[in-house]
Structure 1
């Protein structure tokens, strides 16, 4: 009987140590994923801005399409309940994880404007359209949701 009690106590102690470590590893994996998405978006914006010329207002500019997969949660990564994309001099991704912590990643690059000031995405796959435009301050990459009939390049 004592062996059973000691075995149960040992199992509870091990679980008490293992579960927080697993949660920390999942949070770290999500942080890396958000950073990778920010890098991909910044790279696509920079490539578009450096390889194409902006068009005058009212004329469709050069475009790129990108697919972002917002983690929904698994044994390897914490779920993201909301991902916000903001522009500026580069891009900023802010992810609110389902476990509570917020992850913010900012990557510099060309001037970026997001349709509607910020774009909010939930878990799953999202297709975005990047368009090179021109305004009074020069060229700007505009990020908007891509329509379902758009092709991904």
Structure 2
């Protein structure tokens, strides 16, 4: 009987040490994922800006498509309940983690404008369209959700 009680106490002690460490590792993995998504968007915006010329207003500019996968949670990464994308001089991603924390990553690059001032995405796959445009301030990368119907090539 004493062995069973001691085994249970040992199991509870091990779990008490292991679970917080596992949660911290999942949060770290999510932070890395958000950072890599920000890097991917900034890299696509920089490549588009460097390779193409902005077009006059009213003329469709050069485009790139980027697919972001917002984690919904797993044993390896904490889930993200919402991901907000903002522009400026580069791109900013702010992820609200399901555990309650917020991860913010800002990556410099060309001037970016997000349609609607900010774009909020939930968990899952999201295809974004980056378009090189021109406004009074010069060249700007416009980020918006890509259409997913069959008419888009």
Q: TM-score range by the shorter chain?
A: over 0.9
SS in structure 1 of the partner of residue 75 of structure 2:
coil
Deviation at 1:27, TM superposition (A): 0.2
Question: 2-side partners of 1:136 and 1:83: how far apart?
Answer: 29
**Unpaired segments of 5 or more residues in structure 2?**
none
Which residue of structure 2 aligns with residue 40 of structure 1? 40
Which residue of structure 2 aligns with residue 114 of structure 1? 114
TM (normalized to structure 1)? 0.98
* Mapping for residues 66-81 of structure 1, pairs under 5 Å: 66-81=66-81
Which residue of structure 2 aligns with residue 24 of structure 1? 24
Which residue of structure 2 aligns with residue 131 of structure 1? 131
Deviations 1:68-102 (A, max 9, x none): 00000000000000000000000000000001110
Deviation at 1:141, TM superposition (A): 0.1
Which residue of structure 2 aligns with residue 53 of structure 1? 53
Deviation at 1:142, TM superposition (A): 0.1
TM (normalized to structure 2)? 0.98
Question: 1-side partners of 2:7 and 2:43: how far apart?
Answer: 53
Which residue of structure 1 aligns with residue 86 of structure 2? 86
Question: 2-side partners of 1:6 and 1:35: how far apart?
Answer: 44
**Unpaired segments of 5 or more residues in structure 1?**
none
SS in structure 1 of the partner of residue 93 of structure 2:
strand
SS in structure 2 of the partner of residue 127 of structure 1:
strand
Runs of 4+ more than 6 Å apart: none
